[in-house]
Amino acid sequence: VERDNLAWREHNRRLARKTTAFSKQRSWMEKQVWLSLAYYHFCLPHLSLREELPTPEPTRGNGSPRKWRPVTPAMAAGMTDHIWTTAELLGFRVPAPFLNTLETIKHLFPALDDAHHVN
Protein backbone atom coordinates (compact mmCIF):
# COMPACT_ATOMS: atom_id res chain seq x y z
CA VAL A 1 0.00 0.00 0.00
CA GLU A 2 2.80 2.43 0.87
CA ARG A 3 4.49 1.85 -2.49
CA ASP A 4 1.20 2.54 -4.25
CA ASN A 5 0.74 5.76 -2.27
CA LEU A 6 4.26 6.86 -3.22
CA ALA A 7 3.57 6.25 -6.90
CA TRP A 8 0.40 8.39 -6.77
CA ARG A 9 2.16 11.18 -4.87
CA GLU A 10 4.92 11.20 -7.50
CA HIS A 11 2.41 11.43 -10.37
CA ASN A 12 0.03 13.90 -8.74
CA ARG A 13 1.58 16.76 -6.80
CA ARG A 14 -1.75 17.54 -5.17
CA LEU A 15 -1.36 14.35 -3.13
CA ALA A 16 2.09 15.25 -1.80
CA ARG A 17 2.39 16.15 1.85
CA LYS A 18 4.02 19.56 1.48
CA THR A 19 3.28 21.32 -1.77
CA THR A 20 2.03 24.58 -3.23
CA ALA A 21 -0.13 22.62 -5.69
CA PHE A 22 -2.94 21.93 -3.24
CA SER A 23 -6.57 22.02 -4.37
CA LYS A 24 -8.83 24.60 -2.79
CA GLN A 25 -11.94 22.79 -4.01
CA ARG A 26 -12.65 19.08 -4.00
CA SER A 27 -13.87 19.11 -7.61
CA TRP A 28 -10.43 20.25 -8.83
CA MET A 29 -8.79 17.51 -6.81
CA GLU A 30 -11.08 14.87 -8.36
CA LYS A 31 -10.32 16.11 -11.88
CA GLN A 32 -6.58 15.94 -11.24
CA VAL A 33 -6.86 12.41 -9.81
CA TRP A 34 -8.81 11.17 -12.85
CA LEU A 35 -6.30 12.79 -15.20
CA SER A 36 -3.32 11.23 -13.43
CA LEU A 37 -5.05 7.83 -13.42
CA ALA A 38 -5.65 8.04 -17.17
CA TYR A 39 -2.05 9.11 -17.81
CA TYR A 40 -0.75 6.27 -15.63
CA HIS A 41 -2.75 3.64 -17.51
CA PHE A 42 -2.61 4.89 -21.11
CA CYS A 43 0.58 6.96 -21.52
CA LEU A 44 3.12 5.51 -19.09
CA PRO A 45 4.76 2.18 -20.04
CA HIS A 46 5.46 -0.12 -17.09
CA LEU A 47 8.71 -2.02 -16.98
CA SER A 48 7.10 -5.14 -15.51
CA LEU A 49 4.60 -5.34 -18.41
CA ARG A 50 7.11 -5.10 -21.26
CA GLU A 51 7.04 -7.85 -23.89
CA GLU A 52 10.09 -9.53 -25.38
CA LEU A 53 10.38 -9.07 -29.14
CA PRO A 54 10.78 -12.22 -31.27
CA THR A 55 13.75 -10.65 -33.04
CA PRO A 56 15.65 -7.59 -31.79
CA GLU A 57 14.85 -4.38 -33.68
CA PRO A 58 17.62 -1.99 -34.73
CA THR A 59 17.66 1.44 -33.14
CA ARG A 60 18.07 4.68 -35.09
CA GLY A 61 21.46 5.43 -33.62
CA ASN A 62 24.42 3.21 -32.98
CA GLY A 63 22.98 1.69 -29.79
CA SER A 64 22.28 -1.95 -29.17
CA PRO A 65 19.17 -3.48 -30.79
CA ARG A 66 15.90 -3.12 -28.91
CA LYS A 67 14.83 -6.42 -27.32
CA TRP A 68 11.68 -5.31 -25.50
CA ARG A 69 8.39 -3.67 -26.50
CA PRO A 70 7.12 -1.12 -23.95
CA VAL A 71 3.57 -1.83 -22.71
CA THR A 72 1.10 0.28 -20.72
CA PRO A 73 -1.54 -1.22 -18.39
CA ALA A 74 -4.25 -0.30 -20.93
CA MET A 75 -2.36 -2.20 -23.63
CA ALA A 76 -1.96 -5.21 -21.33
CA ALA A 77 -5.72 -5.13 -20.64
CA GLY A 78 -6.49 -5.02 -24.38
CA MET A 79 -8.04 -1.54 -24.26
CA THR A 80 -5.61 -0.04 -26.79
CA ASP A 81 -2.88 -1.18 -29.15
CA HIS A 82 -0.37 1.65 -28.67
CA ILE A 83 1.09 4.02 -26.10
CA TRP A 84 -0.96 7.21 -26.08
CA THR A 85 0.64 10.65 -26.24
CA THR A 86 -0.46 13.28 -23.75
CA ALA A 87 -2.10 15.22 -26.59
CA GLU A 88 -3.99 12.10 -27.65
CA LEU A 89 -5.19 11.53 -24.08
CA LEU A 90 -6.35 15.12 -23.61
CA GLY A 91 -8.04 15.20 -27.02
CA PHE A 92 -9.94 11.92 -26.60
CA ARG A 93 -13.72 12.28 -26.75
CA VAL A 94 -15.58 9.85 -24.54
CA PRO A 95 -18.30 8.08 -26.59
CA ALA A 96 -21.88 9.08 -25.75
CA PRO A 97 -23.02 5.46 -25.12
CA PHE A 98 -20.41 5.18 -22.36
CA LEU A 99 -21.57 8.42 -20.76
CA ASN A 100 -25.10 7.00 -20.67
CA THR A 101 -23.87 3.95 -18.71
CA LEU A 102 -22.19 6.06 -16.02
CA GLU A 103 -25.44 6.36 -14.08
CA THR A 104 -25.80 2.57 -13.91
CA ILE A 105 -22.27 2.04 -12.54
CA LYS A 106 -22.29 5.06 -10.21
CA HIS A 107 -22.60 2.78 -7.17
CA LEU A 108 -19.10 1.43 -7.87
CA PHE A 109 -17.54 4.82 -7.13
CA PRO A 110 -18.58 6.10 -3.70
CA ALA A 111 -18.66 9.83 -3.11
CA LEU A 112 -15.70 11.21 -1.20
CA ASP A 113 -18.02 12.22 1.64
CA ASP A 114 -19.06 8.57 2.05
CA ALA A 115 -15.48 7.27 2.10
CA HIS A 116 -13.86 6.41 5.41
CA HIS A 117 -11.26 8.97 6.42
CA VAL A 118 -8.63 8.34 9.08
CA ASN A 119 -7.35 11.35 11.01
Query: How far, in Å, CA of 40 to CA of 28, rounded?
Result: 18
Q: What is the pLDDT of residue 30?
A: 78
- Across the chain, which has 119 residues, the per-10-residue mean pLDDT values are 67 66 71 84 93 89 86 95 96 85 73 54
The confidence score (pLDDT) of residue 41 equals 92
Q: Is residue 7 part of a domain?
A: no
Half-sphere exposure of 118 (CA within 13 A, CB side): 0
Q: What is the pLDDT of residue 55?
A: 92
Domain count, the chain: 1
Residue 9 lies in a domain: no
15, part of any domain: no
What is the model's pTM?
0.69
Does residue 91 form part of some domain? yes
Q: Which domain holds residue 105?
A: 26-53+66-114
Contact yes or no for 82/109 (Cβ under 8 A)? no
Q: What confidence score (pLDDT) does residue 89 get?
A: 95
What is the rounded CA–CA span in Å between residue 85 and residue 90?
A: 9
How high is the pLDDT of residue 34? 82
- pLDDT score recorded for residue 114: 52
